[in-house]
Amino acid sequence: MRDIQMVDLKTQYLRLRHEIDPAIASVMESSAFIKGPDVRHFEEELQDYMGVKHVVTCANGTDALQLALMALGLKPGDEVITTNFTFIATVEVVALLGLKLVIVEPEPDSFNISVDAVRNAITPMTRAIVPVHLFGQCADMESIMELSAKHNLFVIEDAAQATGADYIFSDGSRKKAGTIGHIGTTSFFPSKNLGCYGDGGALYTNDDEIARKLRSISNHGMKVRYHHDDIGINSRLDTIQAAILRIKLRHLDQFNYSRIDVANRYDEAFAGCTGLSFPGRVSSSTHIFHQYTLKVKNGKRDQLKKHLESKNIPAMIYYPGPLHIQEAYKYLGYAEDAFPVTSALCNEVLSLPIHPDMEEDQLEFIIQNVLDFFKI
Ligand SMILES: *Cc1c(COP(=O)(O)O)cnc(C)c1O
């Protein structure tokens, strides 16, 4: 049996090598390393896939969030509401831009931002909501867009973990995660569902003026070379990464189906396991399982993690500490016990290996070892 990894990037590369190596070689030959033709082609292909008017690529998913907040013209002191249960990147750009970070609880089953908590956190200073489509499943966008319309708030979807997931509206219509709010952001970090071989990111919007602004500020605020209309940053997707992403995009749906197959097998295997609860699936979204995250009850999470590791099965805690108790964010002044849902999740969650190249013997080995732990 091959070694089990959380994400097996090497195996995936070996499978796609016959497509990827020539694409990289062709960028080398052209030596158009910055803003080469592959970048524009990738943006157009991703626009088609996402069903969105504009895709603007950038250097990484953290920059994408920063560019979104900058393009919307948010000013120091404006309040931005986001979830306490996410990767740090979601909140750090809010803080960096001097905006007032307001963090709220997630839902205990879907792990996504609680709409009731958002509603209760809205003040006259609130300017934006940043829902995160955590672990590959969309937040409750219909309710969030209603709040946005009612209170005149921007919505920036952090879709870094949900590239390819569909949000399903109550009338049955669908849109891709990241294309519903005013701006959506994503990351092409190698382990993401659509990942490149380095750093990369993108923004989605249907608004022409926002797209123009994003293109400008991601490239030194310039529309015409050496004429600077906006204060910008340098955040571009490398041509080599764009060439790799064009190939991987063609396989994305298949990759996501393979992840869903693994998740279904886990759900089935753990159905009788009272010490676990498996990831909640909501009817308003497909789930593309960026992570397969269990909740382990009765304080047994760390023991299960150790047990699996002793069998060379990696398992990860996403996320171990709530944001509000991190040293860097103590200035926000939240009480340590202010977020019981987040704190409970941080003590219970455990993510199992999931990726498109999982083999049958690996999957069976993982399942058997989880069941052995609970002596089933
Ligand atoms: C990965 C990730 C990001 C940041 O992406 P980078 O490309 O690593 O900067 C932001 N938000 C979430 C939820 C992520 O998972």
CB-based contact 65:37 (threshold 8 Å): no
Q: Characterise 40 by phi-psi region: left (phi > 0), alpha (psi -120 to 50), beta (else).
A: alpha
pLDDT at 225: 83
CATH number for the domain that contains residue 139: 3.40.640.10
Measured in Å, residue 352 CA sits from the centre of ligand 1 at: 19
pLDDT at 8: 96
Out of 7, 58, 82, 87, mutate this one to test ligand 1's pocket (max ligand atoms within 8 Å of CB): namely 87
Residues 186 and 264 in one domain: no
Residues 210 and 73 in one domain: yes
Asked if the structure places residue 4 within a domain, the reply is no
CB-based contact 39:95 (threshold 8 Å): no
> Residues enclosing ligand 1, CB less than 6 A?
60-62, 86-87, 89-90, 132, 158, 160-161, 187, 189, 199, 201
Residues 170 and 48 in one domain: yes
Place of tokens 């910008």: 232
Residues 124 and 41 in one domain: yes
Enclosing H/E stretch for 56: strand 54-58
Measured in Å, residue 274 CA sits from the centre of ligand 1 at: 33
Out of 158, 290, 351, mutate this one to test ligand 1's pocket (max ligand atoms within 8 Å of CB): namely 158
Q: Which residues pair with 293 in a beta bridge?
A: 351
pLDDT at 375: 84
Range of the domain at 179: 9-104+111-246
**How far does Cα 154 stand from its chain's mean position?**
19
What is the C-alpha to C-alpha distance for residues 115 and 309, in angstroms, rounded to an integer? 36
pLDDT at 227: 84
CB-based contact 141:131 (threshold 8 Å): yes
Residues 229 and 348 in one domain: no
Q: Which regions of the chain are under pLDDT 70?
A: 376
User: SS3 of 204, please?
Assistant: strand
pLDDT at 376: 61
Q: What are phi and psi of 176, to 5 degrees?
A: -75, 145
pLDDT at 226: 83
pTM: 0.97
CB-based contact 242:42 (threshold 8 Å): yes
Place of tokens 């886990």: 266
Query: What is the rounded average pLDDT for all residues in the chain?
Result: 96
Measured in Å, residue 188 CA sits from the centre of ligand 1 at: 8
